[in-house]
Amino acid sequence: GAVVSQHPSRVICKSGTSVKIECRSLDFQATTMFWYRQFPKKSLMLMATSNEGSKATYEQGVEKDKFLINHASLTLSTLTVTSAHPEDSSFYICSAPLARGTSYEQYFGPGTRLTVT
């Protein structure tokens, strides 16, 4: 089956530093990937759509300069949280769509728990 990985699974960083999260589609190519943020006991909120070879599309209210997204290849998208602050602490999840028959399915990574101290 299709597998999406994320690295790291957990990261703790100090306030003011930057942290990079990788999302990889291991056995399929993904021209598009999605980045979600999940607050404790809350639903997933789409942050941005990552497009291979072009700029990411950010949802309203998401700071482009703070959450840098780079879709470097057909199997890798990265999310960099710049100048992180405690309020950026959250669970970040990526997904990638894969055609299944006449439709698509989104395959999710296992998530990355970011804690900013």
Which residues are at the interface with other proteins (CB under 8 A)? 4, 6, 32, 34, 42-46, 49, 91, 93, 95, 97, 99, 102-111, 113
Closest distance of CB 83 from other proteins, Å: 26
Closer residue to other proteins in complex, CB, 82/89: 89
- Distance, in Å, from the CA atom of 51 to the CA atom of 67, rounded to the nearest integer, reads 15
Task: Tell me the three state secondary structure of residue 45.
Answer: strand
- Distance, in Å, from the CA atom of 81 to the CA atom of 69, rounded to the nearest integer, reads 9
Closer residue to other proteins in complex, CB, 19/30: 30
